[in-house]
Structure 1
Amino acid sequence: MAFVLGKFSPNLNPKCNSALINFIRNGHHLRGKPPGVAKSLKQRLQQINYKDPSLHFRVDIGLPAPVISRSKQLQERLSVLKAQRKSPQLEKLARTKKLLIDLDEANTEWLKTSGFYHIKEIADHYGVFEHLFGDAYFLSIINLKLHFNNDDFKHPVYYGNVIKPADATHKPEVHFESDDKSLWTLIMTNPDGHFTQQDKEYVHWFVGNIPGNKIEQGETIVDYLQPIPPKGTGYHRHIFILYKQEKKLDFSSFKKPEKCLDLEERTFSTLDFYRERQDDLTPSGLAFFQADWDKSLTNFYHNTLNMKEPIFEYDFPGPYIRPQEWFAKRRPFNLYMDKYRDVKQINKEFLMRKLKNVHPFKAPPSPLPYPNAVYFEGYVPSWLKLEKQKSRLKWGRINDIE
């Protein structure tokens, strides 16, 4: 029994015909495992990033979250809602779209109820805890308020907002609520910008033994250094962590000279710092912002840090060019040959062709009124004819050379 591949044969069994059609339709070779057996991208990522739960588990190292009675909270909200519904003044303002909400009061209520859980989710999204504390985390129980002052403008620090280095040249103003008898430590670090060590940070500001919330009365261990994200490295996270001290601590080993413009001396590790003092320090507050390069950093690197400004650029690989053939079929001869020529030589050739009719005392020749109607004398290859037409019409690469 014989048949032609790809044609339907009425003399064959219908089952054989269907198998033949399926063979023709799905005649390609299947690479890898079939879809029913192969793992999805999600499954493969889970397998690659798998961590043993007995070794890697998250530990809360912060202050305990306040216990809030959900039923009591709902009852309070319900009573407030009933009182508002009975107010004709509020109803009138709501209908006329003139009802204003006190944002500070709403923010305070948010921070007291579920704000610290939301802040933790944001910090996890930006990898703050993973890159500073590994598998540990903490809740920002203390509301840490910071803002930079620049030309009578305030630039507040929230949880990942962008602040330019030119707007953060001076240390920020810090506010938080605390008992006057308590002691605190505030540290600002950058885990993304170390030039020589991959897993280290730069400490930009370190103030220890702060009595209450009086930052100016604390012991300045490392003076403030503005953000210095190099050009080409994108956004850098600058993280403020507020630690609660159990007692007065000795930070003399971290003490740096005034200003401290040597970046190597500012090398810091939050994880090592906390491990050595975890019995006396408890992370309690968190705030961070992002900064990327701006023009003010060029002057800061040269005149303040006395170093050459680092610039990072991606080194793109050159285009792949297949080995040259003896006779390239169905390819434009001139374009094919130009792939294997020196780019500088090609640009020089086009420049000389463009300057051929340029004279300092004579006007350039007038362009042809109908370039495509000019007859080519003698035999002209198709590739050369196209090249001359493009030159007459001023198309192509010749316009890129100035």
Structure 2
Amino acid sequence: MSFCNLLMKTGVNGGLCGTQTTALLLLNLSTRQGHTLRGKPPGVARTLEQRLRDENVSDPEVVARVNIGFPQLKPSRSAQLKTRLEHLKAQRASKELEQLARSNKLLIDLDKVQETYVQTTGQHDLRLLADHYGIFEHLFGSAYFVPRVPLSIRYELNADTFSPVYNGNVLKPAEVAKAPLVIFDGKLDPITSKSAQGDSYWTLLATNPDAHYTNPGAECLHWFIANIPNGKVGEGEILADYLPPFPPRGVGYQRMVFVLYKQQSRLDFSAHKLAATDYNNLEKRTFSTLDFYRQHQDELTPAGLAFYQTNWDESLTQFYHNVLQLKEPVYEYDYPKPYLADQKFFPLRQPFNLYMDKHRDSKQLNKEYLQRKLSQTHPFEGPEQPLRFPNAHPIRDVPSWLKTEIRKRRLGTGRVQDY
């Protein structure tokens, strides 16, 4: 029996059918046992666009991230366990280590610990940190890679002091004014982690995804060295000289990212050559890591990564004027004016003087405070000496709000400290 016939039989329809019956049925279905149903009534069809918007449906194949780096060939689990057991047996059999440990004279070589960490889990941790700082998202979009070649970058401060780059640490512009010292094993095979045969060529790029003024989606190219033979950075082809980072005052921290690429062979990058006269031309240094990789993805594979953060310091004032030949920009946050409700004739439970001062001109208020302070200050002897025991002097025959104000003046608390 149809719904229309059922309603006519029970006397509910009253001659209604078709669209009117459906509307009445949906109206009746929206309430069940005295409880109103939330959301759309059952049976109402939604378009595909509405379903995607309401359910936030996404295709996993579209949003899946792509690994564009080198794979890693790990030894078998049994081989790793065998090596570890041999190392433990050698440590336990060493009488010298036992004597040093018992006499509290055993020293641990931190450089060796760092080397072991880099060779084991250090590069995987670096990839997680780069994800945390949004490095892959802003440089490669939905792609990522696990660094396989450890990249050592140090800035020389003086003959004996260096500032290293590691895992997003903070370096000031005064520390990174000169080109850094870059060291990596150019003979290392990123897949097997062993020495490779024959010559190898590398490309080193340093970009800042936060430094472009006119195009927020672009990067600023700070350094470009290509065709580095066997890891010898000094013998590479410099396509763009090193430009120190220049974060403006008020913008916070910016990221400086170094990406090392492994080349299949020697390549021609003359199209990316930056003329010496354009060293301080920021528009000519506009760069996109994603477009660069798409253009050369058949000949380049990312293999190393390093990055740090930097923010403004006083050394950038001269850098903007002398090197970039620009007026130094200063950014400030424009704070909105505080909300002030309309003035009431009888403000209840509010201090009378403070409530009135809210609706007065701040300049006039500051003037009164300053005049009051100067009236109590001798031009040669200075301000009046405060009371030794301010709370011991009673305050009588004044309103409560004025009593509080006098007590604050005696104790030197409240807004009086601002003047």
Tell me, yes or no, whether TM beats 0.5: yes
| Residues 240/389 of structure 1: CA separation in 2 closer, same or farther (3 Å cut) | closer
Matched, 1:199 2:217: yes
How is 1:123-272 mapped onto 2 (pairs within 5 angstroms)? Answer: 123-152=130-159, 153-179=161-187, 181-258=199-276, 260-272=279-291
Q: Distance in 1 between matches of 2:380 and 2:298?
A: 87
Match of 2:130, SS?
helix
Instruction: Decide whether aligned partners of structure 1 residues 178 and 254 sit closer, same or farther in structure 2, where only a CA change above 3 A counts.
Output: same
**TM-score if structure 2 supplies the norm length?**
0.76
Q: What CA RMSD, in Å, does the superposition of the two structures yield over aligned residues?
A: 3.0
Structure-2 change in CA distance of 1:359 and 1:62 (3 Å) = closer
Residue in 1 that maps onto 2:190: none
Q: Deviations over 1:238-297 (max 9, x none)?
A: 111111112332222222122611222211110111011101111111111121222211
Alpha-carbon distance in 2 for matches of 1:123, 1:109: 21
Aligned residue pair count: 354
1:117 is aligned to 2:124: yes
Q: 1:95 to 1:51 in 2, by over 3 A?
A: farther
- The 5 A counterparts of 1:84-123 are 84-123=91-130
Spell out, residue by residue over 1:209-248, the C-alpha distance to the aligned partner (whole angstroms, 9 max, x if none). Answer: 2222122221111110112122222222211111111233
Q: Is 2:361 the partner of 1:342?
A: yes
The aligned residue for residue 78 of structure 2 is: 71
- Which amino acid counterpart does residue 296 of structure 2 have in structure 1? R
* Residue 139 (structure 1) shift: 1.9
TM-score, normalisation: structure 1: 0.79
Name the structure 1 match of 2:324: 305
Matched residues in 2 for 1:110 and 1:363: separation?
64
Aligned to 1:351: 370
- Cα distance change, pair 384–139 in 1 and its aligned pair in 2 (3 A): closer
Deviation per residue, 1:187-230 (Å, 9 max, x gap) = 00111222222221111100112222122221111110112122
Return the letter of the residue paired with 2:106: L
Question: What is the rounded CA distance, in whole Å, between the counterparts of 1:215 and 1:381 in structure 2?
Answer: 79
Task: Note the residue ranges of structure 2 that are not aligned, 5 or more in a row.
Answer: 1-37, 40-53, 188-197
Q: Is the 8 A contact 2:378 2:384 kept in 1?
A: no
Deviation at 1:392, TM superposition (A): 6.3
Specify the alignment match of 2:345 in structure 1.
326
Label 1:343 to 1:92 Cα distance change in 2 as closer, same or farther (>3 A).
same
Counterpart Cα distance in 2 of 1:254 and 1:226 = 19
Percent of matched pairs sharing the same residue: 52
Other-structure match for 1:23: none
Does the 8 Å contact 2:186/2:232 carry over to 1? no
